[in-house]
């Protein structure tokens, strides 16, 4: 019900307020009027893409925190968003890829390679300790963002085209993005759900998980693939929307506990609601100008991260 209300709010609230009758008219009796065009072609895609991206990043956050055994890990702090962003910029500027499917696949590949890089460096540096993984991830994220800025600075045309996208936003996204990114998100989510029982075992140490028959290499590899698909598709659709994967898993665990068969669906639902509400808030924080939704989620996520770090220090 909350998700339906949020999506309805996304259709009705903004620079102009529309009534439910106008939304119904635009969606089911389109008449080419200005109101119908705005609702059907501008607000409907973001009302669909926002919950999809929020759900994908929420599930990815659960998997990342379980794999690293670190509650302050997320696709952002592990550098996956930065890797996906760098892959999209490279695919667009260096290889001329402009199709939605091509950019989605590039983002997924960038996230996958980044995840392997982070965990490989951590393993070679003395083991997969939670703090080491996050420190390496933050370093990789900084490097990725720096490379993106260098590439865009040397290519002004790409800079103008991708600058707002790199802030993370759902505005001006065509429905075709949902059609191309949706199947990728679905595959990633299905993989995560199929891994739910083995992910429960991974919350213990490797020795315990192995002793009860969990194939660690297979489970981690499949989990990396799921996280990469979820993060890559989300970045391709909306840009790097920050800290959703950090905040949402904590809310989901608070509501349903630690079992992944409940935690993953809960994270998907909470993430969908969170991203949609953040998108609505972005329309009003500096009204009448619209702020990037990534700025809203980054502020909330930054506060949550500081609170979590303070608790760990205490």
**What is the DSSP code string of the chain?**
-HHHHHHHHHHH-SSS---HHHHHHHHHS----HHHHIIIIIIHHHHHHHHHHHHHHHHHHHHHHHHHT-TT--TTTTTHHHHHHHHHHHHHHTS----HHHHHHHHHHHHHHHHHHHHHHHHHTT---HHHHHHHHHHHHHHHHHHHHHHHHT-HHHHHHHHHHHT---TT--HHHHHHHHHHHHHHHHHHHHTHHHHHHHTS-HHHHHHTT--HHHHHHHHHHHHHHHHHHHHHHH---TTHHHHHHHHHHHHH-S-HHHHHHHHHHHHHHHHHHHHHHHTTTBTTBPPPHHHHHHHHHHHHHHHHHHHHH-
What's the confidence (pLDDT) of residue 159? 65
**pTM of the full structure:** 0.89
Domains and their CATH numbers in the chain: 51-313 (1.10.3470.10)
Per-position pLDDT tens, the chain of length 314: 999 999 999 999 988 899 999 999 999 988 888 899 999 999 999 999 999 999 999 999 999 999 888 888 888 888 888 888 888 888 888 787 777 667 777 877 888 888 888 888 877 876 666 677 778 888 998 898 888 888 877 776 666 666 656 767 888 888 888 888 899 899 999 999 999 999 998 887 778 878 888 888 888 889 888 988 898 888 888 888 888 998 999 999 999 999 999 999 999 999 999 999 999 999 998 888 888 888 888 888 878 878 877 776 54
């Amino acid at each position: 019900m909350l998700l339906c209300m949020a999506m309805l709010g996304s259709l009705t609230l903004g620079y102009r307020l529309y009534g439910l009758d106008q939304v119904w008219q635009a969606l089911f009796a389109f008449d080419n009027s200005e109101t119908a065009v705005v609702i059907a072609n501008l607000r409907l895609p973001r009302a669909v893409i926002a919950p999809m991206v929020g759900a994908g990043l929420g599930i990815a956050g659960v998997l990342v925190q379980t794999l690293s055994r670190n509650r302050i890990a997320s696709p952002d702090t592990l550098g996956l968003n930065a890797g996906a962003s760098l892959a999209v910029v490279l695919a667009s500027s260096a290889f001329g890829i402009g199709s939605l499917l091509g950019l989605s696949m590039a983002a997924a590949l960038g996230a996958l390679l980044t995840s392997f890089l982070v965990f490989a460096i951590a393993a070679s540096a003395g083991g997969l300790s939670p703090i080491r993984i996050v420190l390496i991830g933050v370093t990789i994220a900084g490097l990725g963002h720096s490379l993106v800025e260098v590439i865009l600075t040397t290519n002004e045309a790409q800079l103008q085209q991708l600058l707002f996208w790199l802030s993370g936003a759902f505005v001006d996204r065509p429905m075709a993005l949902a059609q191309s990114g949706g199947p990728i998100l679905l595959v990633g989510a299905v993989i995560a759900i199929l891994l739910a029982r083995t992910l429960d075992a991974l919350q213990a140490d490797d020795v315990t998980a192995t002793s009860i028959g969990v194939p660690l290499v297979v489970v981690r590899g499949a989990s990396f693939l799921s996280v990469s698909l979820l993060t890559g598709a989300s970045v391709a659709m909306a840009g790097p929307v920050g800290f959703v994967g950090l905040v949402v898993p904590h809310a989901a665990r608070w509501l349903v506990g630690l079992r992944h068969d409940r935690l993953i669906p809960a994270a998907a639902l909470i993430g969908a609601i969170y991203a949609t509400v953040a998108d609505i808030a972005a329309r009003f924080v500096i009204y009448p100008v619209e702020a990037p939704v990534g700025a809203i989620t980054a502020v909330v996520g930054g506060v949550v991260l500081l609170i979590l770090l303070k608790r760990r220090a205490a």
